[in-house]
Amino acid sequence: MNIFRLAGDLSHLAAIIILLLKIWKTRSCAGISGKSQILFALVFTTRYLDLLTSFISLYNTFMKVVYIGCAYATVYLIYMKFKATYDGNHDTFRVEFLVVPVGGLAFLVNHDFSPLEILWTFSIYLESVAILPQLFLISKTGEAETITTHYLFCLGVYRALYLFNWIWRFYFEGFFDMIAIVAGVVQTILYCDFFYLYVTKVLKGKKLSLPA
Amino acid sequence: EDDAQPKDEL
């Protein structure tokens, strides 16, 4: 554990909680892609199956359970409790175009051809692109609520911090995991355009809106 | 190529 890793995990946790609270407090999931949230629930489910097979630390177990629990709670709020506010007409990204190629890639490029390892690899690849339906929704509506942009910022910063964590671990522990690193770089790059808008607009007190 | 590692990262 180093400072980048811890900060990354906390940023990830903050993102998840910001989104849950936003939906809960406003009683609305307008502007949120349910498809991205289903993908994140799938990511956590396939990645954390090792909860059943190995114990790493109390921290590790606690965070995994919280991430999974919050992911399903978010999906529940969007598709059940506040279904009437769900922006289905704009949330039209075809997720099969992500899940199918990612599933194929996980079979082809992995560390070990075993069920748990393939599912872990699948989750890493899927996480790197799971935000695309959300970014697509924002590009379609042309705007995002400020609280939604805070969510996206924390979520993007999380993987960027993990990149620093991996650099740290490579230098000080000789550890590297090529699958996680490449997927993490892809994931972070997908947020760059958003980071630019966040810094130039949201942090200056303006609403995030895209030119028509 | 690196081998599978125990997954301590989230």
A9–chain B Cβ distance below 8 A for any pair: yes
Question: Which among B2, B8, B9 has CB closest to A178?
Answer: B2
DSSP per residue over A183-194, as a string?
Answer: HHHHHHHHHHHH
Say if residues A188 and A166 touch (Cβ distance below 8 Å): no
pLDDT at B2 over 90: no
Hey, are the CB atoms on B8 and A60 less than 8 Å from each other? yes
Alpha-carbon gap: A36 to the closest alpha carbon of chain B (Å): 19
Contact A13, A66 (CB under 8 A): yes
Q: Across the A/B interface, how many CB contacts are shorter than 8 Å?
A: 33
> Which residues in chain A land under pLDDT 70?
none
Is B5 within 8 Å of A175 when comparing Cβ atoms? yes
C-alpha to C-alpha distance for A77 and A120, rounded to whole angstroms: 26
B7 and A56 in contact by Cβ < 8 A? yes
CA A178 and chain centroid, separation: 19
Nearest to A67 among B2, B5, B10 (CB): B10
**Is pLDDT at B5 greater than 70 in this prediction?**
no
Give contacts of B5 with chain A, Cβ < 8 Å. 111, 175, 177
CB count within 10 Å of CB A47 equals 24
Burial class (CB in 10 A: 0-12, 13-18, 19+), A54: exposed
Number of H helices, E strands in chain B: 0, 0
Partner residue opposite A111 with nearest CB, options B2, B8, B10:
B2
For residue B5, the distance in angstroms to the closest alpha carbon of chain A comes to 8
* Residue type at A99 in one-letter notation: V
Question: CA A159, A160, A164, A167 torsion: positive or negative?
Answer: positive
- Output the pLDDT for position B1: 43
> Which structure tokens are listed for A103?
């599933």
> Among candidates A166, A185, A188, A186, which has minimal Cα distance to A177?
A166
B2·A180 Cβ contact <8 A: no
Question: Does residue A177 belong to the interface with chain B, where contact is any CB pair within 8 Å?
Answer: yes
Q: Which residue in chain A is spatially nearest to B5 when comparing CA positions?
A: A177
Place of tokens 């200056």: A204
Closest by CA to A189, choosing from A139, A129, A105, is A129
DSSP letters of A130-174? TTHHHHHHHHHHSEE-HHHHHHHHHHHHHHHHHHHHHHHHHHHH-
What pLDDT is recorded for position B4?
Answer: 53
